[in-house]
Amino acid sequence: MSGNEGRLAGRVAIVTGAARGQGEAIARLFVAEGARVVLADVLDTQGTEVAAELGDAALYTRLDVTSEQDWQAASTLAVERFGKLDALVNNAGILHFGPLADTTEKQFRQVFEVNQLGVFLGMRCAAPHLTASGGGTIVNTASINGFVGVANTMAYSASKWALRGMTRTAALELGKQGIRVNTVAPGSIATAMIAPDGVEKMGDDAKSAFARLPLGRIGTPDEIAAAVLFLTGAESSYCTGAEFVVDGGSLAGPVYD
Catalytic site positions: 156
Q: How many CB atoms lie within 10 A of CB 185?
A: 24
Instruction: Report the candidate in 184, 188, 185 with the shortest Cα–Cα distance to residue 202.
Output: 188
Q: How many CB atoms lie within 10 A of CB 199?
A: 17
Are residues 89 and 141 in contact, defined by beta-carbon separation less than 8 angstroms? yes
Residues in the chain: 257
